A and B are shown apart, each in its own frame.
Chain A
């Protein structure tokens, strides 16, 4: 029989399984994003404090997370923590913890950047109008920061969705893993299945991330 790897996609519940795998990917990334955003906002504000102690702590945290490859962080959380403390974190929990730690650091840096990009004159003119610090923050600083942050946050979200493909290495059966299983199961009958399966996975990632980045571009234009 002619090798037509495309058939693999329609065999049994293969396609459905791929979609389920995608759901795992999206679930981990969305939970991480939803937790990272508020934590990152607090971390960002924390980073702008003038206190040398808080500065040092946030610097170390940010650099540590940035320097370590996410894969290493995943291994530490999944294998290392179990060894060191005897806590047996499930793969899902380890992955979420790592992505929240990473997302908080990145989001915090975005928030810090947006906050310090508000010119000092904006504060001065608000104070000169008799506004208190709180009023200045609520009416002047937050709205301007928010506008700068939305496109950046959305970009971070797409990065997180893509990076979750690493969780396959701590044994989570997400979309890439499902694809691999399907390919392996049909290795002899359909040698070209890999092309089709990975092609579909590519498409799925694209469909998940593309609308998000289109939205980011639009908002950037409107508020730029």
Chain B
């Protein structure tokens, strides 16, 4: 893997009012690297992702994508966002458009590519996730897993350089989690740079090149997955990992 820096975060601080949500985050994501962000709920994981594509304005520090500064509300932000795909927990497909139109809307309107070309792109991607047959269906006619796969395709259709995933399986039934995670694994294998927030530990372990553990707005651990899962350094990380292990006799 080449070691070109794709995304760099320097001393990022984010406050909501007086509450500090992110406190001095430093993070480097290399091209093709998959970073998984773990941490207890409310630790700022989602906010961190939303800062990365300028959906949240940051209070201090800087975020650089290919050396270009990401600033919420700036003129360049729409240009930069085209390089960063984001997928949300609640899918958020556009309910008034069918799947194909959901996927091709941004390439046509934002990147201004011809409809035909956008649809060819979309076909390739939709076939890859097994949704080409559903292209004329509306979001309400799909299952949660199908919706989430469509949402991933919608982001991919912009040919982004980085993909951000914000707990994309958290709202899904267990049997649908798999189909979505498979798509993400495949993407990772294809060399996509990804930052993933998830609560699927097995998946995190399998997909990550690097695990970031976030606690009260600070990165308290940064490690390779094997190391993090077998030998976490901080107490909180240990407890956090323990909370996913069920042992009958321990429950009182």
Chain A partners chain B: yes
Residues of A within 8 A of B (CB): 119, 121-122, 124-132, 135, 139-140, 143-144, 147
Contact B158 A122 (CB under 8 A): no
Q: A129-B158, A130-B81, A131-B78 are in contact. Are A144 and B88 (CB under 8 A)?
A: no
B6 within 8 A of A: no
Which size bracket describes the interface of B in this complex? Answer: 20 to 34
CA of A129 to CA of B82, assembled, Å: 6
Q: Which B118-161 residues sit within 8 Å CB-CB of chain A?
A: 151, 154-155, 158
Question: Smallest CB-CB separation from A132: which chain B residue?
Answer: B78
Q: Which residues of B contact A147 (CB under 8 A)?
A: 96
Contact A140 B94 (CB under 8 A): yes
Q: Which residues of A contact B248 (CB under 8 A)?
A: none
B36 within 8 A of A: no
CA of A37 to CA of B95, assembled, Å: 25
Question: Smallest CB-CB separation from B106: which chain A residue?
Answer: A129
CA of A125 to CA of B88, assembled, Å: 8
Q: Which residues of B contact A126 (CB under 8 A)?
A: 94
CA of A214 to CA of B88, assembled, Å: 39
Choose among B53, B90, B109, B111 the residue that contacts A121 (Cβ–Cβ < 8 A). Answer: B90
B201 within 8 A of A: no
Q: Which residues of A contact B217 (CB under 8 A)?
A: none
Contact A125 B109 (CB under 8 A): no
Q: Which residues of A contact B239 (CB under 8 A)?
A: none
A-B contact pairs, 7 of them (CB 8 A): A125-B151, A126-B94, A127-B81, A128-B53, A128-B85, A128-B155, A131-B106
Q: A129-B155, A130-B81, A130-B158 are in contact. Are A121 and B92 (CB under 8 A)?
A: yes
Report the minimal beta-carbon distance from A31 to chain B, rounded to whole angstroms.
Answer: 31
Report the minimal beta-carbon distance from B66 to chain A, rounded to whole angstroms.
Answer: 15
Report the minimal beta-carbon distance from A165 to chain B, rounded to whole angstroms.
Answer: 37
What 4 A-B pairs are tightest by C-beta distance, nearest first? A129-B106, A130-B82, A125-B92, A128-B86
Q: Which B48-97 residues sit within 8 Å CB-CB of chain A?
A: 53, 55, 78-79, 81-82, 84-86, 88, 90, 92-96
Report the minimal beta-carbon distance from A222 to chain B, rounded to whole angstroms.
Answer: 12
Q: Which residues of A contact B211 (CB under 8 A)?
A: none
Choose among B82, B84, B92, B111 the residue that contacts A124 (Cβ–Cβ < 8 A). Answer: B92
B110 within 8 A of A: yes
Contact A130 B90 (CB under 8 A): no
Q: A122, A129, A131, A143: which has the most chain B beta carbons within 10 Å?
A: A129
CA of A140 to CA of B106, assembled, Å: 11
B100 within 8 A of A: no
CA of A129 to CA of B88, assembled, Å: 12
B219 within 8 A of A: no
B105 within 8 A of A: yes
CA of A11 to CA of B94, assembled, Å: 60
Contact B109 A139 (CB under 8 A): yes
CA of A212 to CA of B154, assembled, Å: 39
CA of A110 to CA of B89, assembled, Å: 30
